Chains A and B, each alone.
Chain A
Amino acid sequence: MVVSAMLLAFVLNVTVFSQVQHLVSQQQLSNEFREELAAGTAPVSEGDFNDHLLADGAPVAILTIPSLGVNEVLVEGTSSGVLKSGPGHRRDTVLPGQAGVSVIMGRAAAFGGPFAGIQELAPGDRFHVRTGQGDQVFQVIGVRYAGDPLPPAPTAKQSRLILETARGASFMPSGVAHVDAQLVDVAKPAGLRQARFAGLPPQALAMASDTSTLWALVFALQFLVAVEIGAVWAYRRIGAQKTWIVFLPLTLLAGLYVADQVTILLPNLL
């Protein structure tokens, strides 16, 4: 019963509840970021308005791709847990619109799959990224798979944006798809940024899983086992009807908790 509850909760979490989680997170992030834009405190570097390092999951921009119907708040960080909320900005790269190369990773299927359709972007298509430095218009260069030649590096006055997501069947990724885009206008100045690629944690790279919260999975499993033991005890003491009423919601809750922690172990672009 424990295994079946876990499997059911896992499938439900990845295919249904993760989409709802994504919607809720995006609404909260949108509220927060719009307040920052209105106050002029939206981040323009790796630090916030008070020069504190941006926390994982902090909103940094709004990505709008009209041709795909994408309107997502971008967050700081690219680990699997962070990308549950929305597409994430890789910490070692500049913010979109700033001079240099910026990398944005997004999920292809779970948690709203915000980047599910980015491979449909054609060369010449345009989209917008609103940051603390204003509205940035990007033009798509093309789609790139592993092994394809890289486009020439941008000059000092140019800004390049790379969107990354999983390619392959939904929930069965087989690689990474990159969409290169170039800022149409002159690049904005980049703020101070001390993070470097070599210093990124392994879970921030493309297709990486996040094992930093394994301890939470252990507690979740203990909770699920405790609920099941309680259900068996109650079944013998108070009867089937009352046991179902009390322990069905508890089992579902524990199963979803476990499933949520297991989902974080999956590739971050899934």
Chain B
Amino acid sequence: MASRIRIRVAGLGATLVVLFVAAGLSAAGMASAADGDSGGIGITVTVAPSDPATGAGQGGTGDSGGTSGTPGNSGGTGRTGGTADPTGAPAPGSTRIPADDPRIGVLNVSGLTSKFLWSPTPADSAVELSFVVRNVSKSTFDSTARFWVDTTFGSRLSEVRGIRIRALKPGETRTVRATLVGLGQWTVLHAHSTFTPPPSIDGTKVAAVSRDSFIFVPPLVAGGIGLGGASAFVLVKFLWFRRVFGVVA
């Protein structure tokens, strides 16, 4: 009898440990949700003023909505235009190269940065993708960008293409950012971007630049169901324990 009690107490303890870990993960998720932007406003292309020296601001593009994803999946939403500052002050994420910086090549691109945006609605999860492009050539040029997110099995979840990046001036660094929605509860996401410059810059042939990254997302819905089930199990065990042994918590 005593051994059975010990086993049950051990089981109860193990369940509590699992619950403690699950609650910790849930709290971390909630904290991230509080920090993230759940607006789900589609795409934002951050655009710098065309030439801070003259103060002539350059507005961003305001193209139509993104294309739909594969059947059954939602595509990326439409996007707002980049913000233009009439005062000529540099927009967030856009800078000029300092005079003493070394300039290498004609075009520099960073890796793809991703940030998952939590949503209380299971189907409305979103991810913010961004990369930085720097024009180190002597020419001003237009270019386009495309973002998309796949599952680990390769099926398309969301995509936005044809983002116009207008008038990237010599020495300008610009951040291209997009928010892709409708990602559901997939645990691992594979994000991609492609930056397509003109075929030639300053006489140098330039090809499209692709970047990718993986995003791990704790499954909140599955975790919540598990947490609820574990809570119910502990509650039932606790009531049984108290009824049988008369233990008062």
Instruction: Give A contacts to B, CB under 8 Å.
Output: 118-124, 139-143, 145, 148-149, 151-152, 158, 167-170, 177, 179-180, 182, 184
Listed A/B pairs (12) with beta-carbon separation below 8 Å: A122-B110, A122-B132, A123-B132, A124-B95, A124-B132, A124-B134, A124-B173, A151-B104, A151-B105, A167-B212, A169-B190, A182-B104
| Complex CA–CA separation, A143 to B107 (angstroms) | 11
**Which residues of the other chain, A, contact B110 by a CB distance below 8 angstroms?**
119-123, 140, 142-143
Give the most central of A118, A122, A143, A151: most B CB within 10 Å.
Answer: A122
4 A-B pairs closest in CB distance: A119-B111, A142-B108, A122-B132, A123-B108
A199, B164: Cα distance in complex, Å: 48
CA distance A138 to B188 in the complex (A): 34
Q: Is the CB of A124 within 8 A of B111?
A: no
Q: Are B102 and A121 in contact (CB under 8 A)?
A: no
Q: How far is the CA of A148 from the CA of B209 in the complex (A)?
A: 7
A184 / chain B contacts, CB cutoff of 8 Å: 100-102
Tell whether, in the assembled complex, residue A123 and residue B134 are in contact, meaning their CB atoms are under 8 Å apart. Answer: yes
Q: Does B166 contact A (CB under 8 A)?
A: no
Asked if B241 is at the interface of the complex by the 8 Å CB criterion, the answer is no
Contacts of A118 in B (CB 8 A): 111
List residues of chain A with CB within 8 A of the CB of B108.
123, 141-142
A158 contact set on B, CB distance < 8 A: 102
Partner of B113, one of A120, A151, A180: A120
- Chain B residues engaging chain A, CB cutoff 8 angstroms: 95, 97, 100-102, 104-105, 108-113, 132-134, 136, 152, 173, 175, 188, 190, 206-207, 209-214, 216
Inter-subunit contact B105/A124 (CB<8 Å): no
- Distance between Cα atoms of A50 and B113 in the complex (Å): 45
A124 B97 Cβ-Cβ under 8 A = yes
Chain B residues whose CB sits within 8 angstroms of the CB of A120 once the complex forms: 110-111, 113
Please tell me if the beta carbons of B111 and A149 are within 8 angstroms of each other in the complex: no
- A123-B110, A123-B173 known; A143+B211 contact, CB < 8 A: yes
| Inter-chain contact A168/B134, CB cutoff 8 Å | no
A176 to B55, CA, bound (A): 41
A169 touches B188 (CB 8 A): yes
Chain B residues with Cβ below 8 Å from A152 are 104-105
Q: How long is the Cα–Cα vector from A135 to B53 in the complex, in angstroms?
A: 34
| Residues of A with C-beta under 8 A to B207 | 149
> Cα distance A258–B173 when bound, in Å?
49
Nearest-neighbour CB distance to chain A for B10, whole angstroms, equals 15
Contact A124 B214 (CB under 8 A): no
Residue of A nearest to B173 (CB): A124
Q: B113 → chain A, closest Cβ, in Å?
A: 5
Contacting residues, chain A, for B132 (C-beta < 8 A): 122-124
Instruction: Name the one of A119, A122, A123, A139 contacting B213, with C-beta atoms under 8 angstroms.
Output: A119
C-alpha gap A121/B110 in the complex (Å) = 6
CB neighbours of A151 from chain B (8 A): 104-105
Quick one: which of B101, B105, B188, B214 contacts A139, CB cutoff 8 A? B101
Indicate if the CB atoms of B214 and A169 lie closer than 8 Å.
yes
- Please name the residue on chain B nearest to A184 by beta carbon: B102
Q: Is the CB of A149 within 8 A of B113?
A: no
B188 to chain A, nearest CB (A): 7
Q: Is B102 a contact of A142 with CB atoms below 8 Å? A: no
Q: Taking CB as reference atom, which chain A residue is nearest B209?
A: A148
Q: How far is the CB of B50 from chain A (nearest CB, A)?
A: 19
Which chain A residue has the least Cβ–Cβ distance from B97?
A124
A168 and B214 contact, CB distance less than 8 A: yes
Bound-state CA distance A129–B209 (Å) is 29
User: In the complex, what's the smallest C-beta–C-beta distance from A97 to chain B, in angstroms?
Assistant: 14
Residues of B within 8 A of A123 (CB): 108-110, 132-134, 136, 173
Taking a contact as CB atoms under 8 Å apart, the answer to whether B112 and A119 are in contact is yes
Chain A residues within 8 Å of B113, by CB: 119-120
Given contacts A122-B110, A123-B132, contact A145 B211 (CB under 8 A): yes
A182 and B134 in contact (CB under 8 A), knowing A124-B173, A170-B214?
Answer: no
Chain A residues, CB < 8 A from B133: 123
How far apart are the CA atoms of A143 and B131 in the complex, in Å? 10
Instruction: Knowing A124-B101, A167-B212 are in contact, say whether A177-B95 is a contact too (CB < 8 A).
Output: no
Interface centre among B111, B112, B152 (most CB of A within 10 A): B111
- State the CA gap A41–B83 with chains docked (Å): 54
State in angstroms the CA–CA spacing of A144 and B206 once bound together: 14
Residue of A whose beta carbon sits closest to that of B93: A122
Q: Are A141 and B210 in contact (CB under 8 A)?
A: no
Given contacts A119-B113, A123-B134, 17 further A-B contacts (CB under 8 A): A120-B111, A121-B111, A123-B108, A123-B133, A123-B136, A124-B132, A124-B134, A139-B101, A139-B102, A141-B104, A141-B105, A141-B108, A143-B211, A152-B105, A169-B152, A182-B104, A184-B100
